[in-house]
Amino acid sequence: MQEQLTPDFKEYELLDTGDFEKLERFGRFVTRRPEPQAIWRKSLAESEWQRLADASFLRDERSEERGEWRLKPKMADRWTIGYRYGAMQLKMRLALTSFKHVGIFPEQAANWNFIYDNCLKIKERKEPRVLNLFAYTGGATLAARAAGAEVTHVDSVKQVVTWARENMEQSGLEGVRWIVEDALKFVQREVRRGNRYDGIILDPPAYGRGANGEKWVLEEHIGQMLACCAELLEPQGSFLVLNLYSMGLSSTLARTAVRQAFGEPQTEQYGELTFTDRSGKELPLGTYYRFTR
């Protein structure tokens, strides 16, 4: 079923969007960042953006990705926000990075709920085993662990894995298996070992580098990655979540690729993850495909 998803995230708010920027509240602080999909005009005046923003990201003219933050005096280097769903209570440490990110993709909370719910269902009959690939700061990892799953968290950047571990500790959780490695190499080895998982989460970047310099290009490698994951996922009573942040890649494309690798699922959802700003402008922030079987 095609569906747009927006999570109920109390400590996050999209204040305004437009002119290729977005103004967001994360807990007690407001950030101003580039947003290539905000092709419309802003609703608030520039003076309001300047007044509201505690931190504004200025892109380096020599780089498509990097830049620096301009901060107001009260702005913290690090701060924490919480997310609650059912009995799950997560704490995420945020920080301003040179790549404009702050350590969380709040739209992914809609998938955290799905992961949490499905792990609880699996736990009624056995301990779920969950694999989180390209796992970043671990929101999905924590959701699975909060539901009692045995979680393997894989990311190629050691500093990001350390950040995810901090989030686990702040959330009062423990027992995650941390792997600093190229995701494709890891799943290939898991296939050779004959390992199986009850849930797999895939959040691949458009481009990336593995722990030893391995090159990842989404369009070139996603087919191989899905084929390996199809061998790792339990054939019954399991789930998959795939996110795509590359512009131009649709949820229909994700659905077609996953179905070719895994076959027809029992239930499926796909579409866009969105937030709506205070003026009613809906901003798509990524596409998702997820199934259960």
CATH number of the structural domain spanning residue 261: 3.40.50.150
**Residue 20: what pLDDT?**
96
Whether 66 is covered by a domain: the verdict is no
Has residue 162 been placed in a domain? yes
Give Cα 145 distance to the centre of its chain.
16
Domain enclosing residue 193, as ranges: 105-292
Q: Is residue 52 part of a domain?
A: no
Looking at residue 94, its pLDDT comes to 98
CA distance 228 to 251: 20
Residue count (the chain): 293
Residue 92 lies in a domain: no
CB 221 within 8 Å of CB 184: yes
What total number of domains does the chain contain?
A: 1
On whether residue 137 sits in a domain, the answer given is yes
**With the C-alpha atoms ordered 252, 258, 264, 266, is the resulting torsion angle positive or negative?**
negative
| Inside any domain, residue 59 | no
Per-residue pLDDT at 162: 98
Q: What is the pLDDT of residue 64?
A: 65
pLDDT tens-place values along the chain, 293 residues long? 789 999 999 999 999 999 999 999 999 999 999 999 999 999 999 999 999 999 999 987 766 678 899 999 999 989 999 999 999 999 999 999 998 999 999 999 999 999 999 999 999 999 999 999 999 999 999 999 999 999 999 999 999 999 999 999 999 999 999 999 999 999 999 999 999 999 999 999 876 776 677 776 777 889 999 999 999 999 999 999 999 986 678 999 999 999 999 999 999 999 999 999 999 999 999 999 999 99
Three-state DSSP state, 229: helix
Residue 13 falls inside a structural domain: no
Give the DSSP letter of residue 85. E
As a whole number of angstroms, the distance between CA 66 and CA 98 comes to 5
Residue 69 lies in a domain: no
